[in-house]
Amino acid sequence: MWSELYNQDNQPTLQDINDYVNCELWPGLCSFLESTYNVVPKLEYSKCSMQKGWNVKYKKGSKSLCTLYPMNGYFIALIVIGKKEQIDSELIMPSCNAYVQRLFSKTAFSAGGKWLMIEVRERTVLEDVLKLIQLRVKPKKKSLV
């Protein structure tokens, strides 16, 4: 388990995370975020019971793009849909993967937004994650989605 491999006193490298996730979708998302938004990943340790352990945060200025949680063979993308993005996110939901639609509909709006913990195991889900991130912060470069 990730949190057992890398406890609070044992910070992984980005390469450790890549090796653990071992999913072709991971580097594509990281590369997209870094090049499109000109951001660098920040490793943080979370004691949160929802997903304890080291994670990778991407922020543009003070606005969170997403937080990525390494899993064995896949990853979880946390995207917070705030009030500003609520209507637009509802409008794009019909074009999203059925899994993302179900997760969106069952996630309550609380603490200033819908906190979507999206398991990314397939390309269509990754495409939906990219759409949601781009709702939060409009990219300056042309979108890949």
pLDDT tens string 50-95: 788 999 999 998 889 999 999 999 999 999 999 999 999 999 999 9
pLDDT of the residue at 111: 78
pLDDT of the residue at 49: 67
85/135 Cα distance (integer angstroms): 6
6/101 Cα distance (integer angstroms): 33
pLDDT (tens digit per residue) in 87-130 = 999 999 999 999 999 999 999 988 789 999 999 999 999 999 99
Cβ-based burial of 74 (10 A; exposed 0-12, middle 13-18, buried ≥19): middle
- 80 Cβ contact partners less than 8 Å away, ≥ 6 residues apart: 64, 112, 113, 114, 115, 116, 136
pLDDT of the residue at 139: 85
Q: Answer whether 89's CB lies under 8 Å from 80's CB.
A: no
